[in-house]
Amino acid sequence: MPPKIVSVGDVVETLRGFEPEPFTRDRILGYLSEVEVDRASLEPYAHFSAERYTRNLVHVDEVFELMVLCWQPGQRTPIHSHNGQLGWMVTVRGALAVVEYKYLGCNAPENQQVSGLDCLAGATEIHLDRGPVHECAPGGPVATVDKTHTIHQVVVQGREPAVSLHLYSRPIESCVAYDLKAQRCWRRELSFHSRYGQVVAEVEGPAPSRLAGRRELPVLR
């Protein structure tokens, strides 16, 4: 059976309907695997930059965060964690590769014993094992992160710009980034290039709370 074509607004409304029950990896994976997001509905969030990939917020509440990432050829994320949260990525345009990593150890293990975060970072000796590489393209499998597989890097493949839809439960305001060549890791504050279609990258620093203004979200149809 071909996937059902839905707008990004339909995705938001369906996910909000899921909120009375806990989000599980397989429940959301099943839903996203059965739908195809109409590319035209993503146009308000399709903001590209020659400097770096962009993170463009579609929706955020206490349970989940949905964003559109836009990539120019050659762009990539740092190797990074997800604070043990659940995440799903759907490639809408172009081709991406997700490279998995497994944490083996570091010289600051005490920094991992902290409530609410995967760790405080700050290590100067890091051991990660490079794992499998997953090719991601429109119509392909949904990429996921979970409490076990939480460290990866996303890299653009080929010469075509890429667009991907990212869902996290719960919202993630910072992550640990890893530089294996320099043997260091740090906590990276996350911000958006645009919010609800409006570019804010030049005027916005890290937000104290992403939940402000939720009631003012536009109707996404």
Give tens-digit pLDDT for 36-76.
999 999 999 999 999 999 999 999 999 999 999 999 999 99
| Model confidence band, residue 213 (pLDDT cutoffs 50, 70, 90) | very low
One-letter amino acid of 145: V
Please answer whether residues 70 and 43 qualify as being in contact, where contact means their C-beta atoms are separated by less than 8 angstroms. Answer: no
Please indicate, yes or no, if residue 54 is contained in any of the structural domains. Answer: yes
Please indicate, yes or no, if residue 210 is contained in any of the structural domains. Answer: no
User: What is the value of pTM for the model shown?
Assistant: 0.89
Long-range contacts of 173-176 (CB under 8 A, 24+ apart): 173/206, 173/207, 173/210, 174/83, 174/117, 175/80, 175/81, 175/82, 175/83, 176/80, 176/81, 176/118, 176/119, 176/121
Q: How far is CA 90 from the centre of its chain?
A: 10
- Provide the token pair at 33: 């695997």
Please indicate, yes or no, if residue 81 is contained in any of the structural domains. Answer: yes
Of 148, 99, 103, 98, the C-alpha closest to 125 is 103
Separation in Å, CA 50 to CA 39, 74, 76, 161: 21, 10, 12, 11
What CATH number should be reported for the domain holding residue 87? 2.60.120.10
Q: Is 221's pLDDT higher than 70? A: no
Please indicate, yes or no, if residue 215 is contained in any of the structural domains. Answer: no
Please indicate, yes or no, if residue 211 is contained in any of the structural domains. Answer: no
Give the number of domains in the chain: 1
Please answer whether residues 68 and 45 qualify as being in contact, where contact means their C-beta atoms are separated by less than 8 angstroms. Answer: yes
Measured CA to CA, the distance from residue 138 to residue 91 in angstroms comes to 5
Q: For residue 157, what are the β-bridge partners? A: 95
Q: Which pLDDT score is estimated for 84?
A: 84
Q: Is 199's pLDDT higher than 60? A: yes
Q: Is 219's pLDDT higher than 70? A: no
Please indicate, yes or no, if residue 209 is contained in any of the structural domains. Answer: no
Comparing 202 with 106, the larger pLDDT belongs to 106
Please indicate, yes or no, if residue 217 is contained in any of the structural domains. Answer: no
Please indicate, yes or no, if residue 208 is contained in any of the structural domains. Answer: no
Q: Which domain holds residue 166?
A: 4-201
